[in-house]
Amino acid sequence: MKTPKSIQYNTGEQLRGYRQIDNFFEEIIEKYKIPTPPHPYITKRVEYLFPDGDSHLLGGMFSADKVHFLMFMQSAIASVIETRTDSNRVQFDFFYNKETIESKLELMNQFEKNTKKILENP
């Protein structure tokens, strides 16, 4: 699977970027045959970033920068970092971790296999 290139949009047009994030996450779910939400193993979440990790610098307010996560079995398997450029454009940078996806799928499959054995042989 090819990771999308970084993209930029004018402020106010970032909805297009959010659609690309959804498509990116869905492509990963489909390619690796990951159980889809509302499966308890997979979630999507967004977290706001603070400058240098200090929320008090903004008076407790969030910055415009965010990280979008695709979580599988409590590990981030893909992320998109959303930032503002110096020219106030919105930039999206895409990442995913093939090794983590494969190891988590193996754990899930082993767990389900063992659970099935236990249920079949009480």
Q: Where are the domains of the chain?
A: 7-120
Low-confidence ranges of the chain (pLDDT < 50): none
Per residue in 72-93, pLDDT tens?
988 999 999 999 998 989 999 9
pLDDT of residue 61: 58
pLDDT of residue 29: 92
Question: Which tokens sit at 76?
Answer: 């981030």
pLDDT of residue 51: 65
Residue burial 49-65, b: 16+ Cβ < 10 Å; e: rest: ebeeeeeeeeeeeeeeb
Could you tell me which residues are beta bridge partners of residue 54?
Answer: none
Could you tell me which residues are beta bridge partners of residue 13?
Answer: none
pLDDT of residue 56: 55
What pTM was computed for the model? 0.81
pLDDT of residue 6: 96
